[in-house]
Structure 1
Amino acid sequence: MTQPAETEEPSLRRSIGTVQLFAYTLGGMLGAGIYGLIGRAAGELGAAVWLGFAVAMVAALLTGLSYASLGARYPRAGGAATVVQHTWQRPLLTWVVGLAVLASGLTSVATQSRVVAENLLRLVELPWLPPVMLSLLFLLAIALVVFRGIRESMWANMLCTTVEAGGLLLVIALGLRFWGSADLWETPSTEGITAGLLLQGAILTFFAFIGFEDTLNVAEECHDPHRTVPLGIISAMLVATALYMAVAITAVSVVPWRELAATPGPLAEVMNRAAPWLPGWVYVAITVFAVANTALLNYVTASRLTYGMARHGLLPAALGRVHGERRTPHVAVAALFVVVVALMLAGDITQLASATVLLLLAVFTALNIALLVLQRRKEEPRGSFEVPAAVPALGALVCATLLVNRVLSGDWRAPALAGAVLAAILLAWLALRPGREATAM
């Protein structure tokens, strides 16, 4: 009697092209942060805020290039966790890195769900619908899109990214006639533009580029990732820089930088002065798309990271299952939905979301060092996109400097919360001992 053929385990679907990955990376960076960051940056750099974005791009691009090289070398779901395990074979370190990135993504999704709900209720009055219920419906919609498939997630991202970028282009177009009215070299310092001033501005504006790290987690679903990942990351970072610098020049040209720094909604004020005839709901709608897109990308990233860690014995094996028809990690998507709902119901976790950014800086440092180690390992095959050793070395130095600067900034809340998250991750390791079956990635 013939034995039945063994059913092959379904895998993630390769369907992401260069344009889609470019939009994915760009959408992750644009987000909603730039809409409020301009004001804070103007307070630090004055009218020279555009220069801060240029310097920050150079600093961020160092790590971006390292991520591009690593993504081309190891196109596997799991992102940073995959690289760390492959480099050092230390399950505890992989566990900490993976859950640090996961914590950052999930707290961000939960925070953004509340922002989406608040802005939607500004657009449409629904007195019968509590904001918490609207946040829950939004999270459910995001989870369903991610479950539906990577193609659907990419198309939703491309739509949202188009609106996000369109919003910034609208600001530039409306304020273009004001260019030349401000001294773009004026700063709050009587000494003008100094290295110290640029460093402080770059430290602040560096965070406008966070988002490129999401790309590493979907490399396994890319067509020709050895080419697609580097192109997607580098082109998106360059386009984001051009947009940020043009928006910065426009903002300080329309609204004097001192007033820009004092207003709670800097770009809304820019649009109000440059085009008072424009309905206010346009800006609110753009914000909804921007925040929703960031939530979508963080959810996709978290689900692929969870899937990757499960496939290598660091999380329950069920989280590594792939739906036979949809070709998505459906168990991971469902499990993460429960977690983000719990975080959303916990109330205002904005401080917690900010604290996890510190953990991301530590992860960036580790990934740059990992690339240095791999480049020096003789038996390690070279990738299709290699960068000089100076790139990850400087990237690690920049990220470590930013981390130390944030810890020593005087605001103890973010470092304390980051430390609490790290302690919780270590306690979970001690309780679960997940590394016994961990494999090379």
Structure 2
Amino acid sequence: MGTTAQEAAAEKAGEPTLIRSIGPVQLFAYTLGGMLGAGIYGLVGRAAGQLGSAIWLGFLVAMVAALLTGLSYASLGSRYPQAGGAANIAQRAFARPLLTWVVGLAVMASGLSSVATQSRVVAENLLRLAGLEEVPAIAISLGFLLLVAGVVARGIRESMWMNIVCTAVEAAGLLLVIAVGIPYWGGADLLETPGGEGIGLSFLMTGAILTFFAFIGFEDTINVAEEARDPRRTLPFGIIAAMLAATALYIAVAVTAVSVVPWQELAAAPGPLAEVMARAAPWLPGWSYVAITVFAVANTALLNYVTASRLLYGMARQGLMPAALARVHPGRRTPHIAVLALLPVLAALVLAGDIGQLASATVLLLLAVFTVVNVALLVLQRRPGEKPGGFEVPWPVPAAGALVCGALLLNRLASDDWRAPALAGGLVAAILLAYALLRPKVSQATLPG
């Protein structure tokens, strides 16, 4: 597609811009890699405890629920392929700098907490592989952060190739589970539920709520739309194809897991898929799945770092962050200042220790952002003069997506664990306080044309 108003303005001023180098296969891998994180490896066990052998149904219903918002993101990305993601969309739809600020920082908080958490997991697993569990993991965590920052700063091509390698390993790990477990298929009742509960609407809702979070990650793709070739077509393809591929993998893994290990034992296993492999493929070295985990969590960290840097760059270009963060390296064509600015924040989060509750809190913020994005699409679809994208969806899709995400958010807020909602509220309060102190203003001249 042609250049955007922002790209044209930058070129006229002689300033370097982000380079459009991401093709459809890379976008597919980017989206799939964002979803196939370490979550699926533990989620199967938790789902088995609540859904019994019918966990595959939970993933199927969750995919339908998640795909509603995925379709909204695909449509918006094809309409407005600029860095800044959800923050850019919120400003376009509502023109409220405060809302744009909250949405942008909420997504950024989610990404940064994920990067910090995954860097510690990578370090701990590397020490396990080396048999050095007693060695402090902090130094390796910080070294890993520097490595990821270096890859992201070097170029989007390098980041994409690293993601493709990691995603291939992640997917291969799940395919290996399926391959060794296929001989066991047919040995379990795939509709057996805890306590003989019938499979009704309440059961399906419980399953969808539990497994919905295995699909989180698709939203990252919109942040690299400005670096994609022909994003009006390739971005929708990347999001939708990856969500369907992830669903097929999740359902097959779920069927395999309960076929090899009775769901009651699967729910009690500390490492559900490791237990499946131990029974179905005892010949496989125990360290192999630890190595796969390293690739999975490293990929999650990489993708969230890319997303956070593009979000920060996009907000700076809108005037909501310091202008220096909107600079692009003339040779590498990456937002290098934004990439480097995130590094001390991430180091502080790593040094803070266990931030598991922070990660849980930012999931709540993501659900709120999903709701806002779905409503934003409804607003933009009805606004006179807004040009349609290369991929359009009827209004019931974002309407249903907003209702689903709102319901999931309310369900999480009503849970017994009050710590995550309280911390999420504290994060929102801190974001609002920062806005009151800094008083950022959106520069209308920098908004996408």
Q: TM-score, normalized by length of structure 1?
A: 0.97
Question: Which of 125, 137, 157 does residue 143 from structure 2 map onto?
Answer: 137
Amino acid at match of 2:298: A
CA distance in 1 between counterparts of 2:294 and 2:237 reads 28
| 2:294 is equivalent to residue 285 of structure 1 | no
Aligned to 1:210: 216
Compute the RMSD of aligned alpha carbons. Answer: 1.3
TM-superposed CA distance for 1:127, in Å, is 7.3
Deviation at 1:371, TM superposition (A): 0.3
Correspondences of 1:326-345 after superposition (within 5 Å): 326-345=332-351
1:278-304 CA-to-partner distances (Å, cap 9, x unmatched) read 101100000000000000000000000
Unaligned stretches of 5+ residues in structure 1: none
Cα offset, 1:191, TM superposition: 3.1
Q: Does 1:240 align with 2:246?
A: yes
Match of 1:406 in 2: 412
Tell whether the 8 Å contact from 2:318 to 2:442 is kept in structure 1 after alignment. Answer: no
Whether the 8 Å CA contact 1:89–1:440 is kept in 2: the answer is no
Query: Hey, what's the Cα distance between the residues in 2 that align with 1:406 and 1:244?
Result: 23
Which secondary structure does the structure 2 equivalent of 1:326 belong to? coil
Quick check: 1:440 aligned with 2:447? yes
Q: Check 1:127–1:55 CA distance in 2 against 1; reply closer, same or farther (3 A cut).
A: closer
In the TM superposition, residue 126 of structure 1 has moved relative to its aligned partner by 4.5
Match of residue 260, structure 2, among 254, 258, 261: 254
Contact kept, 8 Å, 1:28 with 1:297, in 2: the verdict is yes
Distance 2:135 2:158 in 1: 28
Taking the aligned partners of 1:48 and 1:125, their CA distance within structure 2 comes to 38
Kept after mapping to 1: 8 A contact 2:44/2:254: yes
- 1:271 pairs with 277, 284, 287, which one? 277
Distance change >3 Å, CA 437–CA 224, structure 1 → 2: closer
The count of aligned residue pairs is 437
Distance of 1:412 and 1:94 partners within structure 2: 27
| Structure 2 match to 1:99 | 105
1:385 aligns with 2:391: yes
Question: How far apart, CA to CA, are the structure 2 residues paired with 1:60 and 1:231?
Answer: 16
1:118 to 2:124 alignment: yes
Describe the superposition over 1:351-390 as per-residue Cα deviations: whole angstroms up to 9, x where unpaired. Answer: 1011100000000000000000011112111111100100
1:135 partner amino acid: S
Change (3 A) 1:386 1:437: closer
Cα distance in 1, alignment partners of residues 184 and 253 from structure 2: 12
Deviation sequence 1:374-413 (CA, Å, 0-9, x none): 1111211111110010000000000000000000012111
* Structure 2 residues not aligned, in runs of 5+: 1-10
Alignment partners' CA distance in 2, 1:126 and 1:328: 37
Residue aligned with 2:212, SS? helix
Moved more, 427-436 or 22-31: 427-436
Separation in 2, partners of 1:172, 1:58 = 23
Is contact 2:72–2:398 with CA below 8 Å preserved after alignment? yes
Give, in whole Å, the separation in 1 of the partners of 2:439 and 2:214.
36
Q: Does 1:68 align with 2:53?
A: no
8 A Cα contact 2:127 2:135, kept in partner: no
2:167 to 161, 172, 183: 161
Secondary structure in 2 matching 1:434: coil
Matches within 5 A, 1:418-437: 418-435=424-441, 437=443
Judging changes above 3 Å, is the alpha-carbon distance between structure 1 residues 294 and 127 closer, same or farther for their aligned structure 2 residues? closer
1:11-37 CA-to-partner distances (Å, cap 9, x unmatched) read: 001100000000000000011100000
Q: 2:83 matched to 1:83?
A: no
Structure-2 residue corresponding to 1:30: 36
Partners of 2:21 and 2:157 within 8 A in 1: yes
Q: Distance in 2 between matches of 1:373 and 1:234?
A: 22
Q: Deviations along 1:306-343, whole A, 9 cap, x unmatched?
A: 00000110001111110010000000000101110100
User: For structure 1, which segment, 7-16 or 334-343, has the greater mean C-alpha deviation from structure 2 after superposition?
Assistant: 7-16
1:216-238 deviations in whole A, cap 9, x for unaligned?
Answer: 00000000000000000000000
Distance in 2 between residues matched to 1:129 and 1:258, nearest whole Å: 35
Equivalent of 1:182, from 188, 206, 223? 188
Q: Aligned partners of 2:12 and 2:242: how far apart in 1?
A: 43
- Counterparts of 1:219 and 1:248, CA distance in 2: 32
Q: Percent identity?
A: 74
- 1:189 Cα offset (Å): 3.7
Match of 2:381 among 371, 375, 379: 375
- 1:201 deviates by 1.0
1:171 counterpart = 2:177: yes
Distance 1:321 1:189 in 2: 59
Is the partner of 1:183 in helix, strand or coil? coil
Q: Kindly indicate whether residue 236 of structure 2 is the aligned counterpart of residue 230 of structure 1.
A: yes
TM-score by length of 2: 0.96
Conserved in 2, the CA contact under 8 Å of 1:107 and 1:343? yes
In structure 2, distance between residues paired with 1:171 and 1:377: 48
Distance 1:406 1:127 in 2: 35
Q: Distance in 2 between matches of 1:238 and 1:191?
A: 28
Shift in CA distance, 129/331, structure 1 to aligned 2, threshold 3 Å: farther
CA contact (8 A) 2:124 2:133 kept: no
Q: Please name the residue that 2:207 is paired with.
A: 201
C-alpha distance in structure 2 between counterparts of 1:42 and 1:130, whole Å = 34
Residues 7 and 402 (structure 1), Cα distance of their counterparts in 2 relative to 1, 3 Å cut: closer
